[in-house]
Amino acid sequence: MKREIYLDNSATTRIDSRVLEEMARVAGQSFGNPSSLHRKGREGERILNASRKELADLLGIREREIIFTSGGTESNNLAVLGIARRYRRRGTHLITTAIEHSSILQPFQLLEKEGFEVTYLLPDSKGLLDPQAVLQALRPETTLVSIMHVNNEVGSLQPINGISALLKRKKADLIFHVDAVQSFGKIPLPPGLQGIDALSISAHKFHGPKGVGALYLKEGVLIEPLFLGGGHEKGLRPGTENTPGVAGMALAARQSFEKMKGKTAQLREMKRLLTSSLETRYPWIKINGPRYDEKESAPHITNISFPGLKGEIIVHALEEEGIYVSTGSACHSNAKGESHVLQAMGLDKPEMEGAIRFSFSGETQMEEIDTAAKKINEVISRLKQLHEKMARV
């Protein structure tokens, strides 16, 4: 069997074996409903409390500030819809960016239909926001600003601390939400989440299980629930809790925090190795997002355009070689199949069509990058020759 090299860790990661064991243990033994009054229920409740404490300790926040959800999409929906609607009487202007994940953009579009006004900020050509532009968009009636920490397609890293400080200085009662789905466990967050009022995470992006996540909601910030039907999670997210998932997420979070320090430099080196190997051989390619040596570049994501070639064809040709990657527009594209992120960054059509995202994790090995770089070089040469041959016919 061909050796597999998985470079699509921003789509999802492989679940860690210890996490899987812990989930099986909880599901098999501590399966009681945390709301049940008997011993089995109390056992479930203990698992929930311990997991909440683990996450709170890692983030330097209070346990009561964590709401467990079904993942990043739900955390984002709950934050955007729940906060905007709850503070509607205070103001109906909201700010976000044009490069957010669709689980942020679509709730904002829904709010527009409900009578809110939304400012969608455009990034520069590297996918970075200008903090001053965020400040300028602020109005007396702005209630919520939502900005992602790391962009999932190009790996641009926004200066969330700086942006939040600027905004709060001008408007202290503003609520600042951060989609940290792509950064949690990989890039340090502000200690105690200072300056942040709400933050979304998703377990399957850091070697935890799929279908579980959390929303940090700073004490005192109010939210309107999206679901109704029980008092779970203080009535803000009713539904019997996913105890195996939550326990798995807490363990995966701890493991990724423990490994984070040692891995960052290594991930950045992988990004450098892959990018420079391709750039040297093919000077016509385009690196999308900040370069590996810039501080605004997330170390685990690199996005490269091969103009003239089709991203989808590259993905399948690499798959034949056992290498798994994504097109830039894998899941969040417009009607024409183009990535809204690359579009907002000003890429032209061939650059958008030929975009590929490579994403690493703490599990990725340096020698895998070496092998992948060679194979990618071969595949690109083959496709380029084919493309030129077709053009001559």
Ligand X SMILES: Cc1ncc(COP(=O)(O)O)c(C=O)c1O
Of the candidate spans 57-65, 70-78, 293-301, 307-315, the one that interacts with ligand X by CB under 6 A turns out to be 70-78
Please state the separation of Cα 60 from the chain's center in Å. 20
Strand positions, DSSP E, the chain: 5-6, 66-69, 93-97, 117-121, 142-148, 175-179, 198-202, 213-217, 286-288, 301-305, 323-324, 326-327, 355-359
Instruction: Considering only residues 1 through 40, tell me which ones interact with ligand X, judged by CB under 6 A.
Output: none
Give residue number: closest CB to ligand X: 72
Which residue is listed with tokens 């920490």? 149
Of the candidate spans 174-182, 266-274, 338-346, 384-392, the one that interacts with ligand X by CB under 6 A turns out to be 174-182
CB of 40 vs ligand X, minimal distance in Å: 29
Binding status of residue 72 toward ligand X by CB under 6 A: yes
Among 9, 152, 242, 288, binds ligand X (CB under 6 A): 152
Q: Please give the Cα distance from 268 to 275 (Å, whole number).
A: 11
CB of 22 vs ligand X, minimal distance in Å: 19
- Amino acid in position 344: A
Write down the H helix ranges in 310-365.
311-320, 340-344, 349-353
CA-based nearest residue to 239, from 75, 83, 34, 43: 34
Among 34, 213, 244, 248, binds ligand X (CB under 6 A): 213
Among 80, 148, 198, 278, binds ligand X (CB under 6 A): 148
Helix 366-392 to helix 243-281 angle, to the nearest 10 degrees?
60
Q: Exactly one of 265, 331, 366, 386 is catalytic; which is it?
A: 331
Q: Please give the Cα distance from 47 to 311 (Å, whole number).
A: 44
Binding status of residue 179 toward ligand X by CB under 6 A: yes
Decide: 346 and 377 in contact? Cβ < 8 Å: no
Binding status of residue 215 toward ligand X by CB under 6 A: no
CB of 171 vs ligand X, minimal distance in Å: 25
Map 132-158 to HEC letters: HHHHHHCCCCEEEEEEECECCCCCEEC
Among 51, 96, 103, 327, binds ligand X (CB under 6 A): 103
Strands 301-305 and 323-324: what pairing? Answer: unpaired
Q: Which residues contact 226 (CB under 8 A, 6 or more apart)?
A: 74, 77, 78, 81, 82, 237
Which residue is listed with tokens 């990661």? 13
Give the count of residues interacting with ligand X (CB under 6 A): 14
Q: Is 33 a catalytic site residue?
A: no
CA-based nearest residue to 361, from 4, 1, 73, 7: 7
Among 101, 177, 232, 263, binds ligand X (CB under 6 A): 101
Helix 39-59 to helix 243-281 angle, to the nearest 10 degrees?
30
Of the candidate spans 16-24, 160-168, 178-186, 305-313, the one that interacts with ligand X by CB under 6 A turns out to be 178-186
Q: Which is nearer to ligand X, 211 or 322 (CB)?
A: 211
Of the candidate spans 22-30, 78-86, 109-117, 175-183, the one that interacts with ligand X by CB under 6 A turns out to be 175-183
Of the candidate spans 69-77, 132-140, 220-228, 382-390, the one that interacts with ligand X by CB under 6 A turns out to be 69-77
Q: Which is nearer to ligand X, 154 or 287 (CB)?
A: 154
CB of 217 vs ligand X, minimal distance in Å: 17
CB of 11 vs ligand X, minimal distance in Å: 7
Residues at the contact surface with ligand X, assessed by CB under 6 A: 71-73, 76, 101, 103, 148, 152, 179, 181-182, 202, 204, 213
The catalytic residue positions are 331
